[in-house]
Amino acid sequence: MKNTFRPDLSEYQIYVQALADKLNEDALLKMSLTDAVKIAIEKACEKVLPDVVIVKKRKLYQRLEF
């Protein structure tokens, strides 16, 4: 059985919602709150842990250019 990591981010919900709203302004696909948190973690790891390779298991974020 796989262990599930579910941190309590209820105190940060307003910030996660703001991030998701910003991403969804010009996104091709609608990003969920979970996807917004995953993107934030990936971006932080790219800066703090540049030698770590992250296998992305989320919706692909594509900007809609108009």
pLDDT for position 56:
80
For residue range 9-28, list pLDDT tens digits in order.
999 999 999 999 998 888 88
CA gap 49, 43 in Å, rounded:
10
pLDDT for position 64:
63
Choose among 66, 57, 62: nearest CA to 23.
62
For residue range 30-65, list pLDDT tens digits in order.
888 998 998 899 899 989 999 988 888 776 666 766
Looking at the predicted structure, is the pLDDT value of residue 1 above 70?
Answer: no
